[in-house]
Amino acid sequence: MRHQRTGKKLGRDAAHRKALYANLAGALIEHGRIRTTVTKAKAVKPLAEQMITLGRRGDLHARRQATAVLRSRDVVHKLFAEVAPRFKDRPGGYARIVRIGPRAGDAAEMAYLELVDEEYVAAQREERATAAPAVVDELAEEQVDEEEAEEPVAEADEDDEPGADEDEPDQDEEPADEADAEPEASADEPAEDDKA
């Protein structure tokens, strides 16, 4: 049975549709990212991923199968030599569709169809990886700077506190006077007891 095998027709006959798929898949493999309608992107994405899977296999039969679909030896060579080796550890999902809004002329929904490990995406990942330790170092330096900034503030508080410390001894002196006053009272009390 061949249920659910039709796919999108895109208003084209079979030969035109196959040529369109070959051109779009070849452009995706060659450039890493293409801008097209969402409908065409959804139709081409499975074909492009199948071609990358053939490239991962890497044998002669796979190369001939890819050439039969893509119709360009240059694109097939790039697929097998450059693109497929980048996906050797990835078990699938080689492309993504990113919607970018309607087209100005006819309001057709547009999208980028791009390879997941495309060169600029990999370059951005490397930048983030190298920037991450630098950011951690910068955060550590900022924390050290903040701690150093807090210490002078604490010293300034201590400089302000000597005046407060001068007030505090007065407070300490008052309890000392009270303590002195209490023994006098206690000295009076035994004298009263002696009188009795």
Contacts of residue 67, defined as CB under 8 A and 6 or more positions apart, other chains included, come to: 73, 76
**What integer pLDDT is reported at residue 194 of this predicted model?**
54
Q: Do 59 and 86 touch, CB atoms closer than 8 A? A: no
Burial track 169-179 (b if 16+ CB lie within 10 A, e otherwise)? eeeeeeeeeee
**What integer pLDDT is reported at residue 48 of this predicted model?**
96
- pLDDT tens profile 126-179: 777 887 776 667 767 777 666 666 655 555 455 555 555 555 555 555 555 555
- pLDDT tens profile 86-117: 999 899 999 999 999 999 999 999 999 999 98
Mean of the per-residue pLDDT values of the chain: 80
Sheet with 33-37: list strands edge to edge.
33-37, 109-115, 95-102
Contacts of residue 10, defined as CB under 8 A and 6 or more positions apart, other chains included, come to: 17, 20, 39, 40, 43
Of 8 and 139, the one with more pLDDT: 8
pLDDT band at 53 (very low <50, low <70, confident <90, very high): very high
The phi and psi torsions of 136 (rounded to 5 degrees) equal -60, -45
